[in-house]
Each structure stands twice: as C-alpha cells, then as structure tokens.
C-alpha cells in the first residue's frame, strides 16, 4: 500500500461529502482511506455510512482534539506514506494522486514530498522550493493537505503533539526539518484545495503556541536569529506588497493624468 489517506471529521456534515467524493473519484487506486470522526451529532455519520464501502476503516468516538484524532488515524494506517485530507478539504482533480505519484516514482527518495494547494477561494498557495527554516518558521511552507509523509517517521521520531489545538503539524514539520534532518522534496503541482475556514483559522493564539514550543528545542542563539530574520522578511514582504499593489496603480494614474492634460 503506497498511501494512507486520513480524514478527520467532527460535526461537519455540510462539507464532509465534498471530501468523500474527491477521495472516491481518484483514478489512483493504491491507497487506503481511514476516517476518524469525533462523535459527531449532526448528519456526519449518515454520510460516513453512505461511503463506508470505500473506507478501509472508520470510527466515531470522542477524542481529545484534532491531533488526537489524526494520531488515531496514523495508528490505523498501513501505507508507506500518509496524507491528511480532513473534512472540508478536497483533492484538486480526480487525477491529483495519480499525477503526484507519477512524479514521486520518477524522483529521488524523500521522507516527505510536498506540493501546492489552493484555498477554497481558489487562491494559489505555492510552496517554497527549496524549503528553508525561515519559511517553516513563518508557518507558510507546508500544509498537511498536500504533503505525503513517510509513515515510519511518526514511529521513529514522534507523533503529533496533542497538547496544542492548532499548530502541532507545523511543529512536526519544523522538527523533521531541523532536528531529524528528514529529506523534503517539492512536487510542482496543485494537489488539494484547502478549507480556509478550518480549525487553524479559528485560533488567534496559534502563533504564540508555536513560538513557545519551538523555543524549547532551538538554542537561544539560533532562535534569536530566526526572530530577527522573520522581522526582516515581514518588512520586505510588506514593502513588496506596497510596490505590487500601489506603484503600478500610481504609474497608471500618472500616465492617465499626463495624457489627459496633454490632449485637453
């Protein structure tokens, strides 16, 4: 089995079916599908039962949060790689997995393969290549919806930290990159569509949680360097946005006014 698709759901009947349809419509067939439901009390169970014939395993029971549910999915997985397509997210097209694994099979070995995704407003989220510690520190580098993670990494290193409600996947990636020196390889394609209004969107404290956790395993000197570089990157991106959105507009206005004045 090449891939374990793990879907976590809780009281999201309005979006779970979209996720389910995108999974069962995949042309790629060498995968198992594991659904972990957190004791939903809406119509989620009815929808799960509707597509249960395509699931290798599903359960509905209380849990201690999204990462506890994701860890339960990992413990049931048997695939070489895991991908977390949680309720509300969906694969970009029916051939997303087929194309991804065609690229993977022709590429050099990696512990984690990652590609691009779209937001549910169809804005492209293009991942950095190569991956850097700065992009991971900014929590903009990877999302689990478009990342193939070698399953044995969880057992050799660590599962998701269940103490944090929103940032454990970001912490997992930065630890794999920085502490465990896992190999990441970029796939230049859109794999999934990411629900912008998922759990990470709902927690304002997620950034502070992330900083508090990584401060533990970074030495103070490296951590301070990251903070300083992060400030500089934010300033650079701020001025780049000004140039992108305001400068062209200003030039157009200048030319328009100049032409209008000249030919009045």
> Which domain-ending residue is among 217, 233, 249?
217
- Same domain (yes/no): 230, 153: no
- Same domain (yes/no): 246, 209: no
- Same domain (yes/no): 144, 158: yes
- Same domain (yes/no): 136, 258: no
**Domains identified in the chain, total number:** 2
Q: Interhelix angle for 247-262 vs 220-245, to 10°?
A: 20
Which residues form the domain of 253? 219-264
- Same domain (yes/no): 194, 226: no
- Same domain (yes/no): 49, 118: yes
pLDDT tens, per residue, the chain with 264 residues: 799 999 999 999 999 999 999 999 999 999 999 999 999 999 999 999 999 999 999 999 999 999 999 999 999 999 999 999 999 999 999 999 999 999 999 999 999 999 999 986 778 888 989 998 888 887 667 888 999 999 999 999 999 999 888 889 999 999 999 999 999 999 999 999 987 655 544 444 577 777 878 877 777 887 777 777 776 666 666 666 666 656 555 555 555 555 444 433
- Same domain (yes/no): 174, 236: no
pTM above 0.75, yes or no: yes
Long-range contacts of 179-185 (CB under 8 A, 24+ apart): 179/217, 180/153, 182/111, 182/112, 182/153, 183/109, 183/110, 183/111, 183/112, 184/110, 184/111, 184/112, 184/113, 184/114, 184/131, 185/107, 185/108, 185/110, 185/112, 185/113, 185/114
């Amino acid at each position: 089995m090449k891939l374990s698709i793990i879907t976590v759901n809780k009281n999201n009947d309005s979006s779970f079916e979209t996720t389910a349809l995108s999974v069962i419509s995949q042309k790629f067939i060498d995968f198992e599908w594991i659904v972990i439901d957190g004791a939903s009390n809406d119509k989620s169970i009815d929808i799960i039962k509707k597509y249960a014939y395509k699931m290798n395993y599903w359960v509905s029971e209380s849990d201690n949060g999204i990462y506890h549910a994701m860890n339960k999915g990992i413990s049931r997985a048997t695939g070489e790689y895991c991908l977390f397509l949680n309720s509300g997210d969906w694969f970009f097209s029916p051939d997303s997995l087929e194309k991804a694994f065609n690229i993977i099979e022709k590429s050099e070995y990696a512990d984690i393969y990652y590609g691009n995704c779209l937001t549910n407003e169809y804005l492209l989220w293009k991942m950095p290549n190569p991956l850097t510690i700065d992009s991971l520190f900014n929590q903009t580098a990877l999302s689990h919806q478009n990342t193939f993670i070698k399953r044995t990494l969880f057992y050799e290193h660590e599962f998701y930290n269940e103490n944090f409600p929103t940032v454990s996947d970001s912490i997992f990636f930065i630890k794999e990159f920085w502490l465990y020196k896992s190999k990441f390889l970029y796939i230049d394609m859109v794999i999934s569509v990411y629900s912008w209004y998922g759990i990470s969107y709902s927690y304002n404290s997620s950034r502070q949680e992330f900083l508090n956790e990584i401060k533990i395993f970074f030495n103070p000197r490296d951590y301070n360097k990251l903070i300083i570089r992060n400030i500089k990157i934010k300033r650079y991106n701020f001025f780049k946005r000004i140039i992108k959105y305001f400068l062209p507009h200003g030039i157009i206005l200048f030319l328009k006014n100049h032409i209008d004045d000249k030919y009045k």
